[in-house]
Amino acid sequence: MQIDLRDKKIIVTGASSGIGFEIARALIDAGATVAIHYNTHQKGAEKLLKDGNASRIFKADLSNENQTKLFFEAVLSAYLKIDMIVNNVGIFENHSIDSNPDEWMSIWHKTMNTNLHSVGLLTHLGLQHFKANKAGRMVYIASRAAFRGETEEHLAYAASKGAIVSLGRTVARSFGQYNIKSFILAPGFTKTPMAEDYIQTNGEESILKDAAIKELTLPEHISPIVVLIAAGLMDHATGSTIDFNAGSYIH
């Protein structure tokens, strides 16, 4: 199947590494113009730039509300029209209940600001734009943790991803009348830089013991579905949550 996305302009947040990088790469390879968002890893974002493609990199700390607004405005100024937003940016930081309340809440707020509040604001801004253009697609990168929970050190992460699932479903239900579609992807443990510390400490076998497929999920297992969504080939699945966890949890 040949998919041509040369008429699509798409935001991908957290695109400098991991799942976001692979999603952006797949969209660019299909011809899309991508707003490649990064915060600290500029070299990773620059690797996605490709001759003959109009994609550009945009720096912003999305845990900051003002920077999130300025980021969206910069993309809109550059591209004039946005067809899809892939809300991928996220952090996965430990905050043990044994820590003091100030430390624990510091990670809670940081996680919510990055994983949820930035997504909420980009949803608000994106829906306004999509309604004006009578079309648009939202993609939310949630997590297996939204359904089965997470470890005791990652309460904020699990809570943020659960909220994203509800947000994505609500967008699908409430804005379909404006030709706006919404999709949730729920990866399980995926081999990305975010996961390296866990793999080194606990080993791959600790992850694979619960999986039906005895190999780690890779970002390139996830990215093709985003290309299909961007092409409009998944529109009647709006509101769906798509699992990518090698059969380790089926909700």
User: How far is residue 117's CA from residue 202's CA, in Å, rounded to a whole number?
Assistant: 31
User: How far is residue 156's CA from residue 91's CA, in Å, rounded to a whole number?
Assistant: 10
Say if residues 38 and 55 touch (Cβ distance below 8 Å): no
Higher pLDDT, 198 or 21: 21
pLDDT in tens, 128-139: 999 999 999 999
3-state secondary structure (DSSP) of residue 215: coil
Query: What does pLDDT average to over the chain?
Result: 90
Confidence of residue 189 (pLDDT cuts 50, 70, 90): low
Residue 209 has pLDDT above 60, yes or no: no
pLDDT in tens, 81-127: 999 999 999 998 888 888 999 999 999 999 999 999 999 999 999 99
Domains in the chain: boundaries: 9-244
Residue 37 has pLDDT above 60, yes or no: yes
Q: Which CATH number fits domain 9-244: 3.40.50.720, 3.40.50.970, 3.30.565.10, 3.40.50.620?
A: 3.40.50.720
Crossing angle for the helix pair 18-29 and 219-230, nearest 10 degrees? Answer: 50
Lowest mean pLDDT among 2-16, 145-159, 169-183, 215-229: 145-159
Residue 200 has pLDDT above 80, yes or no: no
Indicate the pTM of the whole model.
0.92
